[in-house]
Amino acid sequence: MALVDRLPKHLFTTRGWGLLAAGAISLGCAYVMGRRDLLSLAVLLLVLPLVALAGVRVLKPKFQVYREFNPSTVETASTTTVRLAVARSSYSTGHVIMEEQLPPRFGEPPAFRFPARSASGGTSRYEYHLRSGKRGQFRIGPVTAEFSDPFGLSLRRHSIDDGDILTVTPAAVELPVTGLAGARGNDGVTATRIRANPSDDDIMTREYRHGDPMRRVHWAATARHGQLMVRQEESVTTPEATLVLDQRFTAFAGGTGSVFGGHDDDSDLVTSPSFEWIVTAAMSITSHLAERNYSLRVLDAFGSPAFSRSRSAPEPDAEEFAGAGGLQAIAEGLAAIELSGPRHARGEHHRTDHSTEHRETGTSTADSADSAFDDRLMDKLAAHRLRGPLLALLGSLTPAEARALAPAAAYGANAFALVVADASRSNEEVLEILRLAGWRVAAVTPKTHLTAAWSSFDEGGIVAAAGAAMDVRRGAAVPR
């Protein structure tokens, strides 16, 4: 048995190797005994496995594979169901053993026999489940088929499809309600007072609906239209929030943000514990605000669309998102987002030049770290001045970077920042610069509970931050 186990399994089955061994023994006996009948038997036993081997190499069957994920994108730690439909597109006989190839994180690959016992119409259907604890994009498949000849003497294994990409998005953490959700800005809820000019009646009134108070009936408009009309005292527009998502390699590569990823990681993402915390925060905050009907803008530290370098983004150049579709686009963009931009020498071993070439495109990654939070970002923020809260999710900042970002507080109805603290140095100077400029700041580490950090943006903090921001708008100097 030990000798049989050492024989190559991709050429012959145990039966095939047995026939070859019997043929060799028969050939030896025919030579020693001079028996022509043993020689004929030996030739038959030796030739039959070889003919079977040639047959499965030349006449390999063809299959069609259809793979479906349900749901099509899945959150981390959630389960997706994979459904396979396999049909033979050419005539062939013999048994076929199939195996779905999976990244190592998903465990042992599932194996199944074709055709299945429940096959109908020539198509066999299979189902299994996958779950990933990390975000990213993973190639599921291909299906490899191991088939044999009709006599079961030889084996052949080959891929019958190219596989499909499964997108795993970060899971959102449910955040408590804070005063931040009420920071709607000047365009959030606009009070429209009824004016005496009759020409405004048609614009400021609407038909009476059951439950409207009678005190809101507009009698002049009622007389003109012949039906009850009520004053429409408020015009509600969609509130807007802007999120600045720091993705710079230099902001997350040191201290608690040691970078991992690359060829040793099957998701091939350059990330760190600190950046993973930021990604989860971005998913949770956008989900929290989207549930409250906010439209969202997501930018990077250079003013570019935040997902311009994300392989999983459905629309890499988009920066404005609204509704359930917009939230789904954000989730998919965050699935494969990673650190980018110039790197220190200590980080170069994580990725080879050719593996990062296709990600580090565009002017933002070509700039030095000192160009972050420059005029391009400020112009983007000024274009939507005071339309709603401004939130910044940041890595470690230098005092110079903090001073560059500080004036941005004047462009939001309120300004909030979560800064991942670097354990190797004090961030107090950076935090103080931002606070004096009008930012409401919370310093966090990768071990900080997101709900606790979010709860620090309470009403008292908002009022204080708003007051400081007004000082900045009146011309108060930002510390240099």
Q: How far apart are CA 238 and CA 82, in angstroms?
A: 38
User: For residue 424, how many other CB atoms are within 10 A of its CB?
Assistant: 10
CB 146 within 8 A of CB 94: no
Q: How far apart are CA 202 and CA 200, in angstroms?
A: 6
Q: How far apart are CA 462 and CA 450, in angstroms?
A: 18
CB 235 within 8 A of CB 192: yes
Q: Which residues pair with 97 in a beta bridge?
A: 113, 146
pLDDT of residue 193: 36
Cis peptide before 198 (omega within 30 of 0): no
pLDDT of residue 233: 54
Residue 416 one-letter amino acid: F
pLDDT of residue 243: 97
pLDDT of residue 261: 65
**Sequential pLDDT tens for the chain (480 residues):** 455 455 555 678 888 888 888 999 998 998 888 888 888 998 899 988 888 888 777 777 788 999 999 999 999 999 999 999 999 887 665 568 899 999 998 989 999 998 888 878 789 999 999 999 999 999 999 999 887 777 888 888 888 999 999 999 999 999 998 766 555 555 544 433 333 344 444 446 778 877 677 777 888 888 888 888 887 654 446 789 999 999 999 998 765 456 666 544 456 899 999 999 999 999 999 999 999 999 999 999 999 999 999 999 999 999 999 999 999 999 999 999 999 887 653 333 333 333 343 444 344 444 444 489 999 999 999 988 888 899 999 999 999 999 999 999 999 989 999 999 766 566 889 999 999 999 999 999 999 999 999 998 874 444 344 344 444 343 434 444
CB 292 within 8 A of CB 188: no
pLDDT of residue 186: 54
DSSP string, 202-247: HHHEEE--TT--GGGB-HHHHHHHTS-EEE--EEE---EEEEEE--
Q: How far apart are CA 180 and CA 459, in angstroms?
A: 8
Cβ-based neighbours of 272, under 8 Å, separated by 6 or more: 252, 253, 257, 258, 259, 260, 339
Read off the tokens for 366: 């070509």
Q: How far apart are CA 275 and CA 246, in angstroms?
A: 9
pLDDT of residue 416: 95
Read off the tokens for 80: 């997706």
DSSP helix, strand, coil percent of the chain (3-state; round to 5): 35, 25, 40
Using CA atoms, how far residue 168 sits from 48, 140, 219, 303, 333, in Å, is 49, 12, 58, 26, 10
DSSP conformation class of 248: B
